[in-house]
Amino acid sequence: MAVREHKAHAPASVACGVITVSDTRTDATDESGRLIRELLAAGGHKVAAYAIVKDEASAILAALDRVLPACDVVITNGGTGLSPRDVTIETVTPEMDKVLPGFGELFRMLSHRDIGSAAMMSRAVAGTFRGKLVFCLPGSPEACALAVKSLILPELGHAVGVMRR
């Protein structure tokens, strides 16, 4: 089946979860989590779950365990940097069934256009995780907006539709 045909049969709306990974963010200060939820809703998708968790592997996995049953897709933000406290990638990637290298590659390419060579420090990743699609984004609102608008929303229904086949 061609991409056009896949997209024609893709669900128009999918259930999404958003997890913010941060030692400092609160409901009031979680700009990236709010932005992701707003963009998903504006794109016609249901935000079925939302959580803020500490930069700790056990907290990240526990949040995924809570959120995944209600969602087709989970988008995390934060904990992807180079500091010793940033453990999202080390926590989530080993649990992925399939990694989508194209997501990280395209995200870094698009980021390079905006921020130059600093884009090479991005460790954004996506893949399948326990039968669901998971995206791990940096915590900056600009990076989240770029990923959601340019990469995630255009392919969200298509990717979920393929996974459901």
Indicate which CATH number applies to the domain containing 113.
Answer: 3.40.980.10
* pLDDT at residue number 2: 72
In a domain, 63, yes or no: yes
In a domain, 147, yes or no: no
Q: Is the pLDDT assigned to residue 138 strictly greater than 90?
A: yes
Q: Exposed/middle/buried for 80, CB within 10 Å: 0-12, 13-18, 19+?
A: buried
In a domain, 29, yes or no: no
Q: Is the pLDDT assigned to residue 33 strictly greater than 70?
A: yes
In a domain, 50, yes or no: yes
Can you give the pTM of this predicted structure?
0.95
Give the pLDDT mean for 49-54: 98
How does residue 12 score in pLDDT terms, banded at 50, 70 and 90?
confident
In a domain, 105, yes or no: yes
> Total domain count for the chain?
1
For residue 128, the enclosing domain spans 15-20+38-133
* CA dist., res. 72 & res. 48, Å (int): 9
* pLDDT at residue number 100: 97
Q: Is the pLDDT assigned to residue 146 strictly greater than 80?
A: yes
Write the pLDDT tens digit of every residue in 114-129: 999 999 999 999 999 9
Q: Is the pLDDT assigned to residue 8 strictly greater than 80?
A: no
Q: Is the pLDDT assigned to residue 73 strictly greater than 90?
A: yes
Give the pLDDT mean for 9-21: 92
The enclosing H or E element of 57 equals helix 57-67
* pLDDT at residue number 139: 97
Residue with tokens 């984004």: 137
